[in-house]
Amino acid sequence: MRIDGVGQFTARDARDAAEWARLAAFCARHGQGAFSRDPHIGGHVTGSAFVLSPDGASVLLTHHAKLDRWLQLGGHCDGIADARFVALKEAYEESGLARIRLLSDAVFDVDIHQIPARGAEPAHLHYDVRFLMQAEAGEIAVTAESHALKWVPLAELARFTASESVSRMARLLASGWLTTGKNASVTC
């Protein structure tokens, strides 16, 4: 299944199929606006990066400044209708790494979640599109968007986050996602 500006995704179960259908309906309903921060449409597409260490044994997590939780890197599209590009851009901006490699053009995971109201911004949904990446060069450096950055061994992920969406990505990776053929390169 493919969505313009988002990419190709293969649902693995009913949850995946439902999330993808919701994302597709949102994008169809709002077109380019789905990639904006328009508060009147109830949400927006975001791009995230599940960045593996060079040896593939750890994932880079940020202790998010606003949400006060350990999460993968990522952010708002801000009008850029290319979730894969946004995920890679955010990975660079939030990590300080000098070189990051996209491991597949295919969407790694989709997660739609509620963001609470904050200040003048109403509660809304993030239609988060995640891509699998790997660090190749550089040292991590904390930015103003996070309290900390840490390479967390995949085997110790539960010590840092109880987030099902982060845990699901680790399980997906452990299940052999990169070798199943469900991640074939496509053009967005």
- Return the HEC string of 29-54: HHHHHHHCCCHHHCEEEEEEEEEECC
- Is residue 183 in a domain? no
For residue 131, the model assigns a pLDDT of 98
Range of the domain at 120: 2-175
Please tell me the pTM assigned to this model: 0.92
**What's the number of domains the chain is made of?**
1
Q: What is the per-residue pLDDT across 44-84, written as a single tens digit (0 to 9) for each?
A: 999 999 999 999 999 999 998 877 889 999 999 999 999 99
State residue 180's pLDDT score.
61
Is the residue at 154 inside a domain?
Answer: yes
* Separation of alpha carbons 50 and 72, rounded Å: 6
Residue 185 has pLDDT above 80, yes or no: no
Given a cut of 80, whether residue 188 has pLDDT beyond it is: no
Residue 110 lies in a domain: yes
Here the CATH number for the domain that contains residue 139 is: 3.90.79.10
* Cβ atoms of 84 and 102 closer than 8 Å: yes
With respect to residue 132, please indicate whether it lies within any of the assigned structural domains: yes
**Domain contains 57:** yes
- Give yes or no for a contact between 76 and 52, defined as CB atoms under 8 angstroms apart: no
In a domain, 181, yes or no: no
In tens, the pLDDT along 107-128 reads 999 999 999 898 888 999 999 9
State the amino acid at position 177 in one-letter form: W
